[in-house]
Structure 1
Amino acid sequence: MSRRTLTIVQLLLLTAVLSAANSQAQTLYRWIDRTSGQTVFSDRPPPPGSTAAEVKSEAKASADEAPLPYAVRLAAERFPVTLYTLSRCLEPCRLARDLLNGRGVPFTESLADTAEEQDALAARLGGDIAIPSLFVGTQGFRGFEATAWHNLLDLAGYPASAPYGAKPSGIFKQ
């Protein structure tokens, strides 16, 4: 085979592989059949007049939206993590975020800038507040102390280090 023919064959093969990857993304329809009353799952739209029609896209997650590893997903469902910070908190809050992101922990960051938010945080902590504060499930800890935070995360089942390719977290919640 000549070099040019080999290049053309490689390009055709690459095109076929990319086309096959795109064909994996499809739409799934769910509806209840009027005649039998059974639930039907299909890649084709339901017939007109069907009840309880539902559409789900089964597109594969992109590299930016890679699913969390099973252990992290399980821990996040059972023990969601919330980091309480202030907008003027610099170094301690950066260290807190770095610790959580270094372990690959998905967390919500909540700013406690107003007096009402600080009062609510104090009530949740059961006393005075310290920033940053961490909640893992219902267990809270005042202030940043790496050893105590690691202990809380270990007990909740979060991995000791972030999996390869983990994206930083820190979803702000007002």
Structure 2
Amino acid sequence: MNTKIAYSAIFAIGLLGAAPASHAESIIRWVDSAGRVHYSDMPPPPDAKRVEERMLKGSAIQMDKLPYATRQAASRYPVTLYTTADRCDGCDPARKYLQGRGIPYSEVKLTNSEEAASAAKLLGKSKPEEIGVPALLVGGKAIHGFLETEWSSELSGAGYPAKTR
């Protein structure tokens, strides 16, 4: 390999690494024909079932700045926090816990009965009133109510480091 080509390739790779990572504005959750759940920033195939799109908040953690273990866990077990627009005693402590631990998450505020019904299905409940907010969805596993030890155990089991930085 000629030296000039080698330096050009190294320079191009360096530029790619220095370029700011594009950041998805939304995440799409869908189920395939075999019942497997997928999360992506790309549109699902036409035969996808139960497609839901969530807009990421401006406060979402930038994935490219997270430690490798956190990025890996987030790609396999994305975290969604379900809260309500009404008074929720556990919602602020839940957010602070996730932020303090450096967990990238999206938040879904349940503001109407339609959203609550959709969330109930995702969270394994038959009725919206059975959802204990805050609720956490780690991959496909739902946890109702904020209990730090339970959340810690589930997040650690999914591969999220105990603390970042």
Residue 106 (structure 1) aligns with = 104
Q: 1:122 Cα shift?
A: 1.2
1:57 shift after superposition: 5.4
Q: Could you tell me how far apart the structure 1 residues matched to 2:17 and 2:164 are?
A: 27
Higher mean C-alpha deviation, range 86-95 or range 125-134: 86-95
What is the aligned partner in structure 1 of residue 142 from structure 2?
A: 140
Counterpart position of 1:158: 160
Partners of 1:81 and 1:137 within 8 A in 2? yes
Q: CA distance change for structure 1 residues 113 and 58 in 2, over 3 Å: closer, same or farther?
A: same
Whether the 8 Å CA contact 2:67–2:164 is kept in 1: the answer is no
Q: 1:59 aligns with which of 18, 23, 26?
A: 18
The Cα RMSD (Å) is 2.8
**1:91 match: secondary structure:** coil
Shift of 1:141: 0.7
Which ranges of structure 1 fall in alignment gaps of 5 or more residues?
A: 1-27, 29-39, 44-55, 164-174
Which residues of structure 2 form unaligned runs of 5+?
Answer: 1-7, 21-60
Please report how far the alpha carbon of residue 59 of structure 1 lies from its aligned counterpart in structure 2 after TM superposition: 3.2
Rounded Cα–Cα distance in structure 2 between residues aligned with 1:95 and 1:42: 46
CA distance in 1, matches of 2:85, 2:73: 28
Amino acid at match of 2:102: G
Q: Percent identity?
A: 40
The ranges of structure 1 where at least 4 consecutive aligned residues each deviate by more than 3 angstroms after the TM superposition are 40-43, 56-61
Tell me, in whole angstroms, the C-alpha distance in 2 between the residues paired with 1:57 and 1:161: 29
- For 2:139 and 2:110, locate their aligned partners in 1 and report how far apart those are by CA, in whole Å: 18
CA distance in 2, matches of 1:78, 1:89: 32
The alignment covers a number of residue pairs equal to 112
**1:92, 1:150 → 2: CA distance?**
15
- Larger Rg: 1 or 2? 1
